[in-house]
Structure 1
Amino acid sequence: MAGFQMKRLGLMMEPEPDNPLEVEGVLNPAGVRGPDGQFYLFPRLVAKGNYSRIGIARVKFNADGDPSEVERLGIALEPEADYERRTDGGGGCEDPRISYGEDLKRYVMTYTALSSRGPRIAIALSEDLFHWQRLGLATFRPYEGIEFNGVDNKDASVFPVAVPDPQGQPAMAIIHRPLFPGTRPEETVCQLSSREVDLHRESIWISYCPLGEAGDEPYYLSHFELHDRLASPVALWEQLKVGGGTPPILTRHGWMVIYHGVHELAEPSTVAHKLCYSAGILILSQEHPRVIRYRSPEPVLTPELPQERMGTVANVVFPTAIDRRDDLGLPDRFDVYYGMADNRIGVARLDVPESLPTGALADPPRAKRSLPKGDQSQTESRRDVPITIKKGSSPTCHTQP
């Protein structure tokens, strides 16, 4: 195989007729193997007024081992805490990601809590996937004058094992992308034909919670003290925004994250800006995840099907869950579950190549740190410098329909 390729397997979930909990969509699920070895999805269920709950469903597989349908099992989380509810009675628990924390011996769910303050990252723990203990909103210490607290934030996920923080200590690490004012794609699309990217405010970040200080008190796990900037927009298909996607999962090449990028569709006949959400690949060093080993120059999945091009939000594929098919004896095979136009859930197959493709994108350079030999990369070379992105035509797509 020449590189990373994705093949669609089909539609997994869509709103049930006459189900008021799903009248506005079923989308953006978390996914994880349970204690029983089965694979569970945790879809966002959207009721009238954009009121979201997190459901739970068991995935069923056909004779070939491909995911084919789901069995709905109820609700995992619904808005109850004050940080999940608005004063007008609305609110939401949205877009979860789940990893099994091997050091914690518990499942860790990150999700978007929607209150009157806006979207924020919330965290919950579980031992069995059916009963969840809320830890509250994630908090972040400032970094070089950047204040993360009080800023809209979403699409977060955690590593399943402890990784070294910037001081070399083991930590629970979270990937997130703060939505600083002016950095939403609806805002960046209105800027000039070329713009200077603010590297600190338009990037995906890794933040760290030292495990050694958590002790027996799990609430400490929601406080993140140190930070590394991970990735900024560099390619045309992500020129307006980059953000999180599936939780980090270990491959033969290192930690893989399927992230999302946003660009503007080239439709000169229309006045309004039309956005397109696509998916790409990040491969991070297993030992030092802040080091990018590979970044796909073009998307591996982009809206093509009618269900992806038309829906609650048009032209969206949004990866949020991933399943390594160890159960089939295929550790290089992954099933990727993704939101389709903010209304349905699809699944696609990704087979990881034996070697990393050449021609990977380089991220803007950053401050150099001392790393073990073999982990140095062109992304760890010098102080942060701004980059300029020029708008262009829609990127090509290598997705196999």
Structure 2
Amino acid sequence: MTPSSAVTSTIPYVLQRIGIVMTPEPGNPLEAEGVLNPASGRAPDGTLYLLPRLVSDGNISRVGLAKLIIEDGVPVGVEREGVVLEPDRGWERGADHSGVEDPRTTYLAELGVHVMTYVAYGPLGPRAALAVSEDLRSWKRLGPLHFHYQDDLDTDLNLYPNKDVLVFPDTVTGPDGVESFAVLHRPMWDLSWIAPGAGEPLPAGITDPRPGIWISFVPAAAVRDDIRALTSLGGHRVLAMPEKEFEALKIGAGPAPIRVPEGWLVIHHGVTGELIEGTDQQPKVNYAAGALLLDGDDPTRVLARSEEPLLSPETADEKDGIVPNVVFPTAIETIGARTFVFYGMADSKIGVAELVRTDA
């Protein structure tokens, strides 16, 4: 099983750095190890919010709520409004760790709900989970994602840790011709850190053990009947594997896809450097932002991908922090006629860059 071939083309977008919108609050124990990797969304009254990952001592993560301060159409800061999700469920807590990490949000307009995907860092390591809200403040957990068994993979995707989950904002046509909601995710094959000696048991047809972006589907009719159906995914296939130099180790999706004239634009992260076994906070890697362009009718088809990063760690705040050399995009919002991407800076702060079309 291999991803579809990319058409030789370029991504007509760049990210232009704007500045920092959120830094850890001095003396706040919930932010002692950083604020980073936010989700975003608009409240019913139109107010724009970030939902940042707040990391306390011991690498315990919660999801906060922070109203964006906008000046002259540009995000410049935040006003904190508390915590909206914390690891208070058993499956979000391990014996020596816990967390609800790296939220992403998608607003499903036809259902009137925000869907948050997040990483539940529980007894078996990182697992993808979903929650929903109508107001960004009160979140109802739908639970961990469940991947239907698929015979052609000759394995159970539920065995593997998974991260970087995104829900498309509109329905698409699934591989079986059924109107569906599409979901991007990134399974990780290395089981040794939760099952010593297990190694990397790869699904059938997968020969490259590096983490890449997968796509799965949920029939739209099932979701309209019961929102909990969003946790039950099928039609799994590889979407994109590491190809470019800045993605040499792995890639993962960033903010929810947005529609552009050519199709679906997916901002992603690519990782290079050296991975050290047995640690989550990797000190010898480099995270940069890239992009994929997917077919608007068939999102399993990659039309183009960026040859070079759209944004790389260059400033002191991106190069020095809890994990150095990290640009990690996780949220995207339009303010007026401009589009902004919010990203984690060295796992310590939150920055913002403007998405600019180069052929306009």
For normalisation by structure 2, the TM-score amounts to 0.87
Q: How far apart are 1:80 and its partner, in Å? A: 1.4
Matched, 1:292 2:297: no
CA gap of 1:214–1:200, structure 2 versus 1, over 3 A, is farther
Displacement over 6 Å in runs of 4+: none
Q: What does 1:17-166 correspond to in 2, within 5 Å?
A: 17-63=26-72, 65-88=73-96, 90-143=97-150, 144=152, 145-166=154-175
Aligned to 2:323: 313
AA of the residue aligned to 1:213: A
Matched, 1:340 2:342: no
2:158 match: secondary structure? coil
Q: How far apart are 1:200 and its partner, in Å? A: 7.6
Cα distance in 1 for residues equivalent to 2:132 and 2:100: 15
Matched, 1:260 2:284: no
Unmatched segments (≥5 aa) in structure 1: 185-196, 266-271, 356-401
AA of the residue aligned to 1:104: L
Are the equivalent residues in 1 in contact too, given 2:51–2:103 (CA < 8 A)? yes
Q: How far apart are 1:211 and its partner, in Å? A: 2.1
Cα distance in 2 for residues equivalent to 1:201 and 1:211: 31
AA of the residue aligned to 1:35: P
For normalisation by structure 1, the TM-score amounts to 0.78
Larger RCO, structures 1/2 (Cα 8 Å, 6+ apart): 2
Larger of the two Rg values belongs to structure: 1
Are the equivalent residues in 2 in contact too, given 1:151–1:178 (CA < 8 A)? yes
AA of the residue aligned to 2:344: G
Cα distance in 2 for residues equivalent to 1:103 and 1:72: 29
Cα distance in 2 for residues equivalent to 1:229 and 1:8: 31
**CA deviation digits over 1:313-342, x for unaligned, max 9?**
0110000000123xx2x2xx3201000000
Matched, 1:205 2:214: yes
Which of 270, 274, 278 is the matching residue for 2:284?
274
Q: How far apart are 1:156 and its partner, in Å? A: 0.7
AA of the residue aligned to 2:108: G
AA of the residue aligned to 2:290: G
Aligned to 1:381: none
Are the equivalent residues in 1 in contact too, given 2:69–2:79 (CA < 8 A)? yes
Instruction: Count how many residue pairs are aligned between Structure 1 and Structure 2.
Output: 330
Cα distance in 1 for residues equivalent to 2:267 and 2:225: 33
AA of the residue aligned to 1:30: A
AA of the residue aligned to 2:296: Q
**CA deviation digits over 1:288-337, x for unaligned, max 9?**
11111221001011100111111100110000000123xx2x2xx32010
AA of the residue aligned to 1:290: T
CA gap of 1:44–1:229, structure 2 versus 1, over 3 A, is same
Q: How far apart are 1:146 and its partner, in Å? A: 3.7
2:228 match: secondary structure? helix
Percent sequence identity over aligned pairs: 45
